Amino acid sequence: MAGILNLQFTPTAGDKQANLEKVRDMISGYHDKPLDLVIMPEFFSTSIDDKSMVNEPEDENGGCVTEFLSDVAKTYNTNIICGSVMEKSEAGLYNTSFVLNRNGKITGKYRKIHLYNYFGGNEGTYSIPGNTPLVVDMDFAKVGVTLCFDIKFPMLYRELIKQGAEIIVSPSAWSIPKKAPAKEKDIFKNTWQAMNICRATESLVYFVTSNLAGNTNPFVESIGNSMITGPMGEVISNLEDKDTAGYADLDMKIVRDFKGKVPVALID
């Protein structure tokens, strides 16, 4: 069994320290559970705030965010997918998710491949896309890492399962304009839930999203609905619109059995 914890909350723009402390407090509530992996949202340390994201990026090792979470990983003996931060490199800014092991060491980083530049989104104006899918061989499972808008591109997930992914995670900041009508917001939420189910069942993996929730900048609201979905498309948990965390014990034998019987990574 694998103990998985996904976090969902509304960060405070401009206060990284408060957001990091929020993460630690949320994780501490599960100190009595076996924690194999903790996932937090995209932009969890800054909210969707251009000033914090673009003007105060982290270095190529994740800066103060990974330094803080390294101690958390060691304290709670868990692997961590560090949501995402803006990473400053010689080439420019990347939207990057760092992976930490139980010893607080960086074991991988994923630079978001598919940037959101549509319907008012401007991610490509301040960051550049990565080009390398990531699967990390953790001590309990092979874990693929994606970010938010990547969920729209199933061929990326096909590459991850070819690399042996058994769990795929997606820190996200899936949001909609505040002025959108209620019916459109419902459709948007339903589409998000459907994509979670599709990415899980088409790949025969556990699919885990950790999304922002609430008013994450003056113009958009993030829809929450962080989910843990099983390889048959079963919704194990959905955090809806709450500031909360979701915990599940995942039976990795189920995924491994399915992959042995239905070799989806080999079928063109």
Q: Which domain holds residue 193?
A: 2-260
- Decide if 267 is inside a domain: no
Residue 257, pLDDT > 70, answer yes
Minimum mean pLDDT range among 104-108, 202-206, 263-267 = 263-267
For 103, the token pair is 């010893």
Please choose, from the candidates 81, 55, 69, 59, the residue with its C-alpha nearest in 3D space to the C-alpha of residue 22. 69
Can you give the pLDDT at residue 49? 87
CATH number at residue 153: 3.60.110.10
- Decide if 249 is inside a domain: yes
Helix (H, G, I), strand (E, B) or coil at 68: helix
For 43, the token pair is 């932009």
pLDDT band at 268 (very low <50, low <70, confident <90, very high): low
Percent of the chain with pLDDT over 70: 97
Q: Where are the alpha helices (DSSP H) in 106-230?
A: 123-126, 154-162, 182-203
Can you give the pLDDT at residue 196? 98
Can you give the pLDDT at residue 266? 67
Mean pLDDT of the chain: 94
User: What confidence tens digit (pLDDT) does each residue in 19-41 have?
Assistant: 999 999 999 999 999 999 999 99
Average pLDDT over residues 115-121: 77
User: What confidence tens digit (pLDDT) does each residue in 169-181 have?
Assistant: 999 999 998 999 9
Number of domain units in the chain: 1
- Decide if 14 is inside a domain: yes
Can you give the pLDDT at residue 262? 81
User: What confidence tens digit (pLDDT) does each residue in 144-160 have?
Assistant: 999 999 999 999 999 99
Residue 110, pLDDT > 80, answer yes
pTM of the model: 0.96
Residue 265, pLDDT > 90, answer no
Average pLDDT over residues 135-140: 98
Q: How many CB atoms lie within 10 A of CB 120?
A: 9
Bridge partners (DSSP) of residue 230 are: none
- Decide if 266 is inside a domain: no
Average pLDDT over residues 87-94: 95
- Decide if 265 is inside a domain: no
Can you give the pLDDT at residue 210? 98
Residue 267, pLDDT > 70, answer no
Separation between Cα atoms, residue 150 and residue 156, nearest integer Å: 8
Higher-confidence residue of 218 and 93: namely 93
Residue 120, pLDDT > 90, answer no
- Decide if 93 is inside a domain: yes
- Decide if 247 is inside a domain: yes
- Decide if 55 is inside a domain: yes
